[in-house]
Amino acid sequence: MNKQVAISAENNEAGNSEIRDFEIRDYLRLDMFPHFMCPGCGHGIALRALLWAIHSQGIEKDKLAIVSGIGCSGRVGSYIDANTYHTTHGRPLAFATGLKMARPDLHVVVITGDGDCLAIGGNHLIHAARRNLDITCLMLNNEIYGMTGGQVSPTTPHDRFTTTTPAGNKEPVFDASRLAEAAGAGFVGREITIHLPRLRDLIAEGLAYNGFSFIEVMSDCTEVNGRKNDLGSSPEMVLGQTRTMRPSEYDNNVVDHPFRPNTMNTGVFVRSDRPEYGATYRNMVDEIQALQQKGQK
Amino acid sequence: MTLQSSGQETINLQGNHACALGAVAAGCRFYAGYPITPSSEVAERLAKELPKVGGVFLQMEDEIASIAATLGASMGGVKAMTATSGPGFSLKQENLGYGMGAEIPCVVVNVMRGGPSTGMPTRPAQGDLMQARWGTHGDHPVIALTPGSVEEIYQQTARAFALSEKLRIPVIVLFDESLGHLVETVALPDVTDYEKTVRKWATGKPEDYKPYKADKDGVPPMARPGDGYRVHTTGLTVDESGWPTQKSAEVEPVMKRLLGKVALNNDLVESFEDMDCEDAEVVVVALGVVGRAARKAVRELRASGVKAGLFRPITLWPFPTKSFRKLTKKAKHFVVAEMNAGQLILEIGAAKTGRQSVTGLNRFDGVPISPSQIKQSVKEVLGHE
């Protein structure tokens, strides 16, 4: 396991001064507004962080491809003024793999959710991580199926009430970042939405990383998760993130149950120099074509 | 191995390899697939051929990822294909519908084997004809081609790309295990025109561009990422501007156009073989490998004085109904020979205009239908054993 690099508090201050340089409207399809997100939904903060990170990386909108699946996370990409692809449930990583291999010149960003990425699309996550193709995957983890009305998801905490766990969730949960890391993702990090500049910097680093970067955003669902479980108002839920999430040494995170961490860590968990698959493939093609030309001569 | 016959170069080629080579010749530069019998040779050949032409070959983690990646590559502007067999074709259905709804060109090959379920992986069947038409949910346009020889597999796979690009639609190529594994001596037909056919790309000012506003041919030009159009693509029902809508007044014209675009281009899409149909008393309807047996049977029946004919759809979907009606006006009987329990016969029942009898000749035991079985069936229908 690669060492976690703590993101310093300086970023917060730097962030404040950078706010002036970033105009979110430049990156939004305002004619699609009003957006569909519920009041207090963390996905809006994640969207802002993503666009800010895209801005900070100087990525051209024409060269930006946003690929998403189905669910609340799937609709977030629609508001971005870029080449946006709202694909099928669980499959955005597979669509993105084809798109990136066919068009290496594009910056491909996948926006997915805990149901989309870990349940129906779990197989694609582990293989995208294994391949290490240059895609940035933003998994918005709100611990619930929001779009369909609040059913249990692979990351719904233990004993949480949902419409399909009327007596509380008894299934163990996934630790998505650990899963991505174990499957070989070159860059893995997790952040909470209350720390916007940190989240922006984490996404920016993921965008800059040449390989598969997996970023887990802990996002609040105030409506079908929060209200049903009496988790408080939206501000209370966001503030609550700091009680259950903390930046710390990932390795030292001792939990009482391997599948149910009481406290989840934030920060960068993996930063590796594994070869990026697209470049590896194109090198192979170059070699094959060179051999062919030799043979023809 | 090459042979020379009458000046034209011929090669010995397996059906699945012909499919792979036809794709490359038509300009396919992306393939994503998953191993499955009896179609794996399509992938194996493309794994060799695509890097040579600078293309991408990917073996994905599953069948669903294979079609998703194929559509993803096509969204990027590259001619793309995936191939599979029955169980994999079932798995691909949802994303096939995405391609039809969002109008993303690609080619999906299904080398049919016995079914249902795992069925008979190394035996031929034609059990997926109706699945090709109705497999994905909701109303949708469809094109499915059913080649009947190794040479035709090469040609029709290449043509599938051209139709797919021209009409912005996934095109299905259906043949069966026996054709996929058949090795024939073939002269590869020229498919340069198919190679040259590429989809209409958006031109003009991005602010004036509407992604689902069609031209007269019912097909909207497509925006390529990177060209400045920054379009939204979705599986949701959209209006002309590409934004999701559920308002009936906006949905209806978009759906009508989508469902009608193949019929609007019928001259391009329709293809079939007819032999001695016009004066035939009995017309045998058969496709794929059964079409070959039927050709032999009809020839022999004619030689013995029986007025038999053959109608072999090459474009199965949409079924060439008008031409079929026109050609078989004088027929009194139809014999529908197919390697399933009765699928094509449903379409013939719907397509016939008169009071002709329709008799099915069906096999679903993993063995192709023989010419003698077809002859026997025709004689029974005519009442002389």
Confidence tier at A158 by pLDDT (50, 70, 90):
confident
**A289 vs B54: CB contact, 8 Å cut-off?**
yes
Angle at B304 between CA B301 and CA B308, to 5 degrees: 30
**Residue of chain B with shortest Cα separation from A83:** B230
Confidence tier at A258 by pLDDT (50, 70, 90):
very low
Q: Are residues B51 and B183 in the same domain?
A: yes
Number of domains in chain B: 3
Give backbone dihedrals phi and psi of A122, rounded to 5 degrees, phi first: -55, -40
Distance, CA of A262 to chain centre: 21
Of B80, B235, B243, the CB nearest to A88: B235
Q: Pick the residue with more confidence: A5 or A130?
A: A130
Span B189-203, average pLDDT: 97
Asked if B107 has any chain A CB less than 8 Å from its own CB, the reply is no
pLDDT in tens, B86-119: 999 999 999 999 999 999 999 999 999 999 999 9
CATH number for the domain that contains residue B57: 3.40.50.970
Residue given tokens 């949701």 in the structure block? B236
Distance from the Cα of A105 to chain B's closest Cα (Å) equals 9
Q: Which of B221, B246, B267 is the last residue of a domain?
A: B267
pLDDT for residue A253 is more than 60? no
Q: Are residues B105 and B172 in the same domain?
A: yes
Residue given tokens 């016995």 in the structure block? B114
Cα–Cα distances (Å) from B110 to A161, B88, B257, B266, in that order, read 45, 8, 27, 23
State the best of B98, B234, B238 to mutate against chain A, taking most chain A CBs within 10 Å: B234
Distance from the Cα of A23 to chain B's closest Cα (Å) equals 19
Confidence tier at A296 by pLDDT (50, 70, 90):
confident
How is the beta sheet containing A135-141 ordered, strand by strand? A245-247, A264-271, A187-192, A213-218, A135-141, A107-113, A64-68, A83-86, B232-234
Residues of chain A neighbouring B74 (CB-CB closer than 8 A): 98, 102
pLDDT for residue B12 is more than 60? yes
How is the beta sheet containing B357-362 ordered, strand by strand? B272-275, B308-313, B282-285, B333-338, B357-362
Q: Are residues B25 and B90 in the same domain?
A: yes
**Residue of chain A with shortest Cα separation from B75:** A99
Percent of all residues in chain B with a pLDDT value above 70, rounded to a whole number: 98
- Packing angle, helices A196-208 and A43-56, rounded to 10: 50
Span B44-58, average pLDDT: 98
Span A44-53, average pLDDT: 97
pLDDT for residue A254 is more than 80? no
Q: Are residues B99 and B166 in the same domain?
A: yes
Span B52-58, average pLDDT: 98
Q: Are residues B50 and B191 in the same domain?
A: yes
Q: Assess if residue B54 is contained within a domain.
A: yes
d(CA B135, CA B87): 12
pLDDT in tens, B213-233: 999 999 999 999 999 999 999
Confidence tier at A19 by pLDDT (50, 70, 90):
low
Its domain, for residue B369, covers: 273-382
Helical (H) or strand (E) element with B33: strand B30-33
pLDDT for residue B55 is more than 70? yes
Task: Given CATH 3.40.50.970, say whether it is the number of domain A10-296.
Answer: yes
Asked if B341 has any chain A CB less than 8 Å from its own CB, the reply is no
ipTM beyond 0.90? Answer: yes
d(CA B62, CA B133): 23
State the best of A86, A109, A125 to mutate against chain B, taking most chain B CBs within 10 Å: A86
CATH number for the domain that contains residue B320: 3.40.50.920
pLDDT for residue A250 is more than 70? no
Residues of chain A neighbouring B71 (CB-CB closer than 8 A): 87, 95, 98
Kindly provide the residue ranges of all beta strands, DSSP E only, lying in A106-258, ordered along the sequence.
107-113, 135-141, 187-192, 213-218, 245-247
Give the 3-state secondary structure of residue A232: coil
Q: Are residues B210 and B68 in the same domain?
A: no
d(CA B254, CA B212): 8
Best mean pLDDT range from A7-11, A33-37, B171-175? B171-175
pLDDT for residue A11 is more than 60? no
Q: Assess if residue B237 is contained within a domain.
A: yes
**DSSP bridge pairs for A162:** A165
Domain boundaries, chain A: 10-296
Residues of chain B neighbouring A288 (CB-CB closer than 8 A): 51-52
Span A3-22, average pLDDT: 51
Q: Are residues B129 and B81 in the same domain?
A: yes
pLDDT (0 to 100) of residue A74: 97
pLDDT in tens, A182-239: 999 999 999 999 999 999 999 999 999 999 999 999 999 999 999 999 999 999 998 8
pLDDT (0 to 100) of residue A8: 42
Angle at A125 between CA A35 and CA B80, to 5 degrees: 85
Residues of chain B neighbouring A78 (CB-CB closer than 8 A): 232, 234, 244
| pTM assigned to the model | 0.94
pLDDT (0 to 100) of residue B132: 98
Q: Are residues B186 and B39 in the same domain?
A: yes
pLDDT (0 to 100) of residue A242: 79
Q: Are residues B214 and B229 in the same domain?
A: yes
Q: Are residues B110 and B178 in the same domain?
A: yes
d(CA B321, CA B324): 5
Q: Are residues B186 and B82 in the same domain?
A: yes
Span B267-285, average pLDDT: 97
Percent of all residues in chain B with a pLDDT value above 90, rounded to a whole number: 96
